[in-house]
């Protein structure tokens, strides 16, 4: 189950950091947005400012059911981290071929076409 930490407790259990709070996100209660290419779905944790497309940043959790292309977000940087499942291959024409492994973030421009290929079924 995903947990987002906006601060932390020090050794004396005192709150530190911006917001100094911890929130638990129950994925079963989060709204689900199906991808246009039907290859997966996204559960949005938060955006700033709150918007569906015109945001400065967004944190979300995606489940990927099939091989397919990532949506384009011109002017944005995408950071992808596998939380569970096997490896995923990311391909972007002449730019890169990268094997994404669990818990190892990978960043790329979100305005380039990137294809995801699953190596072990749905993630």
pLDDT tens by residue, 19-49 = 555 667 787 888 898 888 888 899 988 888 8
Task: Please state, rounded to an integer, the average pLDDT across all residues of the chain.
Answer: 80
CATH 2.40.240.20 assigned to domain 31-118? The reply is no
Length of the chain: 123
Helix, strand, coil % in the chain, rounded to nearest 5: 0, 45, 55
At 3 the pLDDT is 39
Extents of the domains making up the chain: 31-118
pLDDT at 106: 94
């Amino acid at each position: 189950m995903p947990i987002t930490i906006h601060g932390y407790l020090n050794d004396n259990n005192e709150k530190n950091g911006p917001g100094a709070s911890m929130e638990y996100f129950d994925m079963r209660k989060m709204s689900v947005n199906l991808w246009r290419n039907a290859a997966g779905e996204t559960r949005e944790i938060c955006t700033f400012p709150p918007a569906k497309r015109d945001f400065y940043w967004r944190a979300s959790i995606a489940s990927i059911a099939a091989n397919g292309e990532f949506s384009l977000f011109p002017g944005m940087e995408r950071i992808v981290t596998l939380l569970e499942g096997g490896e995923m291959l990311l391909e972007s024409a002449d730019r890169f071929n990268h094997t994404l492994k669990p818990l190892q973030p990978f960043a790329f421009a979100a305005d380039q076409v990137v294809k995801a290929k699953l190596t072990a079924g749905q993630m």
